Structure 1
């Protein structure tokens, strides 16, 4: 394959990020036509020599609480071309979340995940305080927290679906690369296990859903202007 063709497609894909919508749309359409003509995927062009990597978030949930974390990791990984699994040290009840993917994707995953976990925990801190003041039991409090967490990641998932539909026209649908999925063949993929959720917590689920649907990582990743 002529490297000049790959370079041309790379430049067109870069132009696809132009703030000028007409220019961006034309560039993406031209790049897609070239990829079809030369039987290339976006990853063939941009990541020909890259190797997927493992990134440890150092964030964990326990056997007794924060099971919503696996649902959150699953949603974020799937929508950023990665896979996730967990590592549980021998004799420990702590389950650490790990992401696998290409470096840029894995970096986005870990950054988004860490920020989302921080947002959820900040909200839960106040929720737990309120429930303790109401003299709720530990089981009731854990169930309430699971409801909020589940609502959050399901709201976030709906936002990802909306974005995917908007990009469908240009073929920019997020798919986990086969070579990334291949890495987990001999590993135990983390299975999402929901904690107990009671119907009395519907209001907290709805609150979490709204928070997830309005969640944004953009400003956090970009950081302050210098």
Structure 2
């Protein structure tokens, strides 16, 4: 292995870091070097070692109880070069969240999604302890918080992309992933209109979503 391919290989290894900015910076530098030296991915690592992962991540949702979950998966997937999907048994209202992506991208995407989901779920558990409210009102509070968090996270991602426009070279969904997704049926839950939300909890969620930071992630369960 030449010095340049060895350097690129080390950068690609660093790109597996769970720290988002470190991972993207390493991946960007690796891709720039590959372009400069006219190298293809298979010149660095055998293509057979790269595989597309399609897998559910253990989080379920319904249109009534947690419709924001689908929107959250879409936001996270787009930020980690993956595509989301939902798996459900025919006739069931419950869907399980899954992602499709290259192996390294999938690992980061899954970790980020599970952390973001747990951030929302944890706050929702706190909201439900307010027993003075009926179940329908508590559900509205929780869903308003979830939608607000997603909107805040979307704003945070847009700000990051504006500040790091060079990340556009990194955040491209590989063609192999797009090919896998093209064979699947796509669907999503409709985003709740502002008029139906509890504005206090939506604002609380928005603020927390803007502050979401993978560096404070929860360790994945064993």
TM-score tier by shorter-chain length is 0.7 to 0.9
> Structure 1 pair 42/158, CA: closer, same or farther in 2 (3 Å)?
farther
Q: TM-score, normalised by structure 1?
A: 0.76
CA offset digits 1:7-66 (Å, max 9, x no partner)? 34334566899xxxxxxx8x966x555433344577985684401111211110024210
- The within-5 A match list for 1:166-181 is 166-169=163-166, 172-181=169-178
Q: What residue in structure 2 maps to residue 124 of structure 1?
A: 124
Q: CA deviation at 1:116?
A: 1.6
Q: 1:149-208: CA deviations, max 9, x gaps?
A: 111112112222233233324655412112111101121134243246535611211100
Distance in 1 (alpha carbons) for counterparts of 2:218 and 2:185:
30
Following the alignment from structure 1 to structure 2, what is the Cα–Cα distance between the partners of residues 169 and 43? Answer: 23
Aligned residues: 210
Q: Check whether the contact 2:83–2:101 (CA below 8 A) recurs between aligned residues.
A: yes
Instruction: Assess if the C-alpha contact under 8 Å between 2:144 and 2:197 holds in 1.
Output: no
Instruction: Report the Cα distance in structure 2 between the residues aligned to 1:45 and 1:166, rounded to whole angstroms.
Output: 30
The TM-score normalised by the length of structure 2 is: 0.77
CA contact 1:86–1:98 (8 Å) conserved in 2: yes
Aligned residue runs from structure 1 range 125-204, under 5 A: 125-130=125-130, 132-133=131-132, 135-136=133-134, 138=136, 140-169=137-166, 172-195=169-192, 197-198=194-195, 201-204=198-201
Distance 1:148 1:47, change over 3 A: farther
CA RMSD of aligned residues (A): 3.3
Structure 2: tracts of 5 or more residues without a match: 18-24
Secondary structure, counterpart of 1:198 in structure 2 = helix
Match of 1:68 in 2: 68
Is 1:107 aligned to residue 107 of structure 2?
A: yes
Which stretch of structure 1 is more off in the superposition, 96-105 or 35-44? 35-44
**Counterpart of 2:90 in 1: which secondary structure?**
coil
Aligned equivalent of 1:205, options 202, 207, 210: 202
Q: What is the CA–CA distance in structure 1 between the aligned matches of 2:169 and 2:138, rounded to whole Å?
A: 41
Structure 1: stretches of 5+ with no match in the other structure: 18-24
1:94 maps onto 2:94 in alignment: yes
CA–CA distance in structure 1, aligned partners of residues 121 and 154 of structure 2: 18
Question: What SS does structure 2 have at the residue aligned with 1:129?
Answer: coil
Asked if 1:37 is matched to 2:33, the reply is: no
